[in-house]
């Protein structure tokens, strides 16, 4: 909307600073613009680290007009590849700062971005948290047991009882917020013990990492031992496949290979995937840091140290710019997209009679207009009734 490239652009993946794609996950990028507080001579000193220069709104506007002035599509594509700028009609507004007034939405960035990456990518897909079997109780079962007894006020939210499984569905931003700040820190922390006392009994909330991290480490050692055997077998299968492919058609070797293998089996062998660490002992502390960071909106490079660069998403860099947005617009409740998310839910709930033969926007607008007219009619009738009621009382007096 404001003429910026997306996160995959080589030179300009960020709408706020001049970091490049090669450096977006570097330590310098993940601490760019962060605040450091130090105690100097019995007084606190605040320093802000700027590793990459911020983008300038006037410079971006000038380049928008330069892109618009180009005549051919090839020239515009070349200009875009170099600067990451497209023409936008908002560049015509002299009072509109295209950089400062472009918002990185905290809801999508933190809740549906970083928190979702931690939960779904690092814990569910790994899988650090596994569903139970008929014979063994596993991590997700403990979490479900906890959630079935966990009580929270209605305004705080709640989680599906089968969270982490297909039956639990996808989590919403509200559910991620409640989970990251309330439910998950209690159930995964290995050094916080919560006891609920009922008369003479003490029920300890299950701490998942305490109970399963040793099993995960044992599984990791077993996988490492079997990986070398699977790697050796892959090398043998690949050499045999390669020799069969290189043998001339009609030769004795090719005929022997055709007898042994069908067309379905004659595929290039795939190398075995190296074993990954399913659970790590530092993860509970890491998640409590993330939970704290969510509350103060200052996410640092914790994930890179624990999971490596491959686990990072552009959201990890964009989160460092939330500090400046909070200074510009106040608390995140003033500018995040929860309101528009609720309005989208209202529009999606509009009755379209499952008719897909036209534009869904028109159907939604007609339903919204019909509902607004009904509300107006009811309010008008209510005013008339109240007015007649008041007149009747005056007459009776």
pLDDT tens-digit series, residues 64-83:
999 999 999 999 999 999 99
pTM value?
Answer: 0.67
Identify the pLDDT of residue 255: 53
Distance CA 129, CA 242 (A): 39
Identify the pLDDT of residue 191: 42
Distance CA 289, CA 287 (A): 5
| HSE-CB of 380 using CA atoms within 13 angstroms | 6
Distance CA 285, CA 261 (A): 52
Which pLDDT tens digit goes with each residue over 97-150?
A: 999 999 999 888 888 888 898 888 888 888 888 888 888 888 888 888 888 887
Q: Residue with structure tokens 């005549």?
A: 71
Which pLDDT tens digit goes with each residue over 148-194?
A: 887 888 777 788 888 888 888 888 888 888 888 888 877 765 444 44
Tokens of 263: 């067309």
C-alpha angle with apex 386: 382 to 388, nearest 5 degrees?
115
Whether 271 contacts 234, CB under 8 Å? yes
Identify the pLDDT of residue 297: 56
Identify the pLDDT of residue 73: 92
* Cα-only R_g, the chain: 29
β-pairing, 43-48 vs 35-40, is antiparallel
4-13, long-range: CB within 8 Å, 24+ apart, which pairs? Answer: 4/60, 4/84, 4/85, 4/86, 4/102, 5/80, 5/84, 5/85, 5/86, 7/314, 9/84, 10/81, 11/81, 11/82, 11/83, 11/84, 12/83, 12/84, 12/85, 13/84, 13/314, 13/317
Distance CA 314, CA 4 (A): 15
Nearest to 108 by CA among 369, 370, 332: 332
Residues 6+ apart with CB under 8 A from 44: 37, 38
- Residue 38 is given by DSSP the state E
Distance CA 345, CA 368 (A): 13
Identify the pLDDT of residue 5: 92
Q: How many CB atoms lie under 10 A from the CB of residue 337?
A: 17
At 200 the three-state DSSP class reads: coil
In the predicted model, residues of the chain with pLDDT beneath 50 are: 36-42, 44, 190-206, 263-264, 298-300
Identify the pLDDT of residue 202: 35
Identify the pLDDT of residue 281: 80
């Amino acid at each position: 909307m404001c003429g910026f490239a997306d996160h995959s652009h080589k030179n300009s993946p960020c709408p706020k600073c001049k970091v490049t794609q090669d450096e977006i996950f570097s330590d310098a990028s993940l601490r760019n613009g962060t605040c450091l507080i130090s105690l100097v001579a019995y007084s606190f000193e605040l320093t802000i680290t700027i590793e990459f220069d911020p983008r300038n709104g006037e410079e971006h506007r000038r380049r928008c007009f330069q892109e618009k002035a180009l005549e051919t599509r090839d020239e515009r594509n070349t200009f875009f590849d170099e600067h990451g700028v497209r023409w936008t009609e908002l560049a015509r507004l002299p009072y509109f700062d295209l950089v400062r007034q472009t918002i990185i939405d905290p809801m999508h960035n933190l809740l549906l971005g970083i928190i979702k990456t931690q939960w779904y990518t690092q814990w569910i897909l790994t899988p650090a948290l596994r569903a139970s079997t008929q014979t063994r109780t596993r991590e997700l079962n403990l979490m479900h047991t906890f959630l079935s007894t966990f009580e929270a006020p209605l305004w705080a939210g709640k989680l599906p009882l089968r969270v982490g499984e297909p039956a639990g569905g996808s989590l919403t931003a509200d559910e991620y917020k409640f989970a990251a700040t309330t439910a998950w820190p209690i159930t995964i922390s290995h050094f916080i013990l919560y006891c609920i006392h009922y008369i003479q009994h003490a029920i300890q909330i299950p701490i998942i990492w305490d109970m399963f991290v040793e099993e995960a480490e044992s599984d990791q050692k077993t996988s490492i031992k079997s990986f070398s055997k699977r790697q050796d077998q892959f090398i043998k299968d690949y050499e045999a496949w390669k020799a069969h492919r290189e043998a001339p058609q009609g030769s004795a070797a090719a005929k022997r290979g055709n007898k042994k293998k069908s067309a379905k089996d004659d595929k290039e062998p795939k190398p075995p995937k190296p074993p990954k660490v399913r659970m790590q002992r530092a993860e509970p502390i890491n998640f409590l840091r993330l939970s704290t960071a969510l509350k103060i909106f200052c996410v640092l490079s914790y994930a890179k140290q624990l999971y490596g660069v491959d686990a990072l998403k552009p959201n990890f860099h964009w989160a460092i710019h939330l500090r400046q947005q909070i200074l510009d617009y106040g608390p995140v409740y003033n500018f995040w997209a929860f309101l528009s998310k609720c309005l989208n839910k209202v529009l999606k709930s509009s009755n379209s009679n499952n008719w897909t033969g036209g534009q869904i926007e028109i159907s939604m607008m007609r339903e919204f207009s019909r509902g607004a007219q009904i509300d107006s009619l009811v309010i008008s009738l209510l005013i008339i009734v109240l007015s007649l009621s008041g007149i009747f009382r005056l007459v009776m007096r």
